[in-house]
Amino acid sequence: MAMQQVCILGSTGSIGRSTLDVLARHPGRLRVRTLSAHSRMEALAQQAHQHQAAIVIVPDDAARQRFLDAWPAGATLPRIHVGAQALCEAVSDPVVTTVMAAIVGAAGLPSVLAAARAGKRILLANKEALVAAGSLLMQAVRESGAELLPIDSEHNAIFQCLPPAGQVGAPSRPARGVRRLLLTASGGPFLKTPLAQLDDITPDQACAHPNWRMGRKISVDSATMVNKGLEVMEAHWLFAMPQDRIQVVIHPQSVVHSMVEYEDGSILAQMGQPDMRTPIAHGLGFPERIESGVGLMTLTQMGRLDFEAPDLDRFPCLALAFCALRSGQHACIAFNAANEVAVARFLAGRLRYTRIAGVISACLDHVQTCTTHALHTLEDILALDDAIRRFAASRCHPDA
């Protein structure tokens, strides 16, 4: 097996750190080539030093200086590249074989698209890229012969349960014999919270996920179930599946990561600990299985697995996501951009938790007036994303 040279975009985040943990277990087959981060330059310097990265990417000159200040005296410096464009150049580096796309939000889109155009093996954690630009991204994968491997635990589970043929690239129709995809969702921290209490939810309460340790944005998305909405869109693009054949099932234990239902009545499920190192190791090792550091799961101690239908009064954002997917790409871009703006405001203490759904809904109404806006290129998509962000900001009243 040839050595894989890995570029990790967003290495200081939750997925980035788990990726480095798996990578360090396999020095004979996986090597760090490039690391990038947007903040926490001390953490980036520590990672780059420990894993002997050849290149690091930082957002601006001030961050470059903080990186240099944190670098251990006397150690050989990596090359330091600055700015968003450097992310796109890094993924096209001929030495890089594998790109872990673990930037959070639509900010990760240009670099994911560049990796697809460069024909790399892409481990896709950054679901927002696929939500905003599914058609463009899948076309780029098809044309370049890139390998797109899902890292999101649900999509990785589905990938493992599908028939092996033809799923690594960009399928143009659902796999033969498959009736439906069943996406599991934990229901987050507020599955049983009385609805009247949701108005006063704080950022720390929303980020306290019962089963998973994740970045703050995706933790809020899990609480509102925006995350599951984004994942329905992600599944639609990854597996060429119409939205009426994707079902969301609440499963509070987060042990069954998702399922594939076949025409003959079989349902195949993938199970495991709620630890992202399992799907990350699956992507890094594919098609072989490699050690991930995840401990054993003892089924007899688990006792029971529960499944229930989602309550759309409790989770209005999930209903909005299905509406957006039915409406098309303009609405999916609006759904994602509105949510990113609303969640950032909520995390900054400037928007009520229950207003997140209101901001998304207002943007979905507003985007109806933008449907003549072309979406052929990355620039078209980023322009609509930007317009929606400005509109969303105008709907985020702090006292609403």
Name the packing angle between helices 61-70 and 41-51 (round to 10°): 60
Is residue 234 a contact point for Mg ion (CB under 5 A)?
A: no
Report whether 153 contacts 211 (CB < 8 A).
Answer: no
User: Least separation, in Å, of the C-beta of 103 and ligand NAD?
Assistant: 4
Is residue 214 a contact point for ligand NAD (CB under 6 A)?
A: yes
Is residue 128 a contact point for Mg ion (CB under 5 A)?
A: no
CA angle 334, 146, 123 (to 5 degrees): 65
Closest CB to ligand NAD: residue number: 13
Q: Given the complex with ligand NAD, which of 128 and 385 has the nearer CB atom?
A: 128
Q: How buried is residue 354: exposed, middle or buried, by Cβ count under 10 Å (0-12/13-18/19+)? A: middle
User: Least separation, in Å, of the C-beta of 214 and ligand NAD?
Assistant: 3
Is residue 37 a contact point for ligand NAD (CB under 6 A)?
A: yes
Q: Given the complex with ligand NAD, which of 57 and 146 has the nearer CB atom?
A: 57
In terms of DSSP bridges, do strands 178-185 and 256-262 run parallel, antiparallel, or are they unpaired? antiparallel
Choices 215-223, 309-317, 325-333, 365-373; region in contact with ligand NAD by CB under 6 A: 215-223
- The pair of structure tokens assigned to 67 is 């990186």
- The pair of structure tokens assigned to 375 is 């979406």
Partner whose binding site includes residue 19, from Mg ion, ligand NAD, none (CB under 5 to 8 Å by kind): none
User: Least separation, in Å, of the C-beta of 274 and Mg ion?
Assistant: 10
Q: In what order do the strands lie in the sheet with 267-271?
A: 246-250, 178-185, 256-262, 267-271
Q: Indicate if the alpha-carbon torsion angle 17, 22, 25, 26 is positive or negative.
A: negative
Choices 154-162, 307-315, 327-335, 366-374; region in contact with Mg ion by CB under 5 A: 154-162
CB count, 10 Å around CB of 291?
11
Residues 239-278 within binding reach of ligand NAD (CB under 6 A): 276
Q: Cβ contacts of residue 333 below 8 Å, gap of 6+?
A: 131, 132, 367, 375, 381, 384, 385, 388
Is residue 152 a contact point for ligand NAD (CB under 6 A)?
A: yes
State which of residues 147, 152, 234, 261 lies at the interface with Mg ion (CB under 5 A): 152
Residues 65-94 within binding reach of ligand NAD (CB under 6 A): none
What residues line the site for ligand NAD (CB under 6 A)?
10-16, 37-39, 102-104, 107, 125-128, 152, 212, 214-215, 217-218, 276
What residues line the site for Mg ion (CB under 5 A)?
152-154
